[in-house]
Amino acid sequence: MDLLLYPTYLPSISHFVAMAQADSVTFETEDNFQKQTNRNRTYIYSPNGVQLLNIPIKHSGTKHQKTKDVQLETAFDWQKQHFKSLEAAYRSSPFFEYFEDRFMPIFEKQHKFLMDLNFESMAIIAQCLQMDFKFEKTLEYFHEQPQYTDLRHLANGKKDPSTFEEYTQVFGDKHGWLNNLSIVDLLFNEGRFALDYLKKQTL
């Protein structure tokens, strides 16, 4: 299948299930930014259950701003907070320490634009999964894209109905199974088995 997706921050497992099974991937880069979507947020499994990690962005004052023009708000030390949250969530998982150093550019590099950060986060994760990360970008926005399997709706967590096979999660004994979190949940818990898992799931 030829996929059309939005680039999101530490994307959901459903994004990577789609990418692992696609013939080609195209990212929508010409859309208008929408609040409260996974473009600038992700969900992890914290010691207290589901935790939202949200990236603060600069508000442009214009009603319609393209996602590719959205800049990160540097007044808040969100990178430090996000890394601390990941540590609290996954330090005791089997593969956190193995992958930890590879993730540091996300939390140390000063990106200006949200989209650059999202592409970097996806590239790092794909590398950890040992998965090819080849893609095209759209040149113009179209509401309908019949030539693709259009999965742009996956960027809006509320519209993503995906359910996946259970794997062992760090706080599973405490809070039970949490479905379709950020791909980092799968990666830190399953390590080198994560790609096989992605290829076996159905969207």
Identify which of 109, 35, 100, 115 has the alpha carbon closest to the alpha carbon of residue 79.
Answer: 109
DSSP string, 37-51: STTSEEEEEETTEEE
3-state SS of the chain: helix, strand, coil percent to 5?
40, 15, 45
- For 8-44, write each residue's pLDDT tens digit: 999 999 999 999 999 999 999 999 999 999 999 999 9
Query: Tokens 């199974």 identify what position?
Result: 177
Domain ranges of the chain: 2-200
Q: List residues bridging with 27 in a β-sheet.
A: 5, 137
pLDDT at 3 > cutoff 90: yes
Residue 178 in tokens? 């949490």
Classify 171 as helix, strand or coil.
coil
pTM: 0.96
pLDDT per position as a tens digit, 81-113 = 999 999 999 999 999 999 999 999 999 999 999
- CA angle in degrees (0–180, nearest 5) for 57-63-68: 50
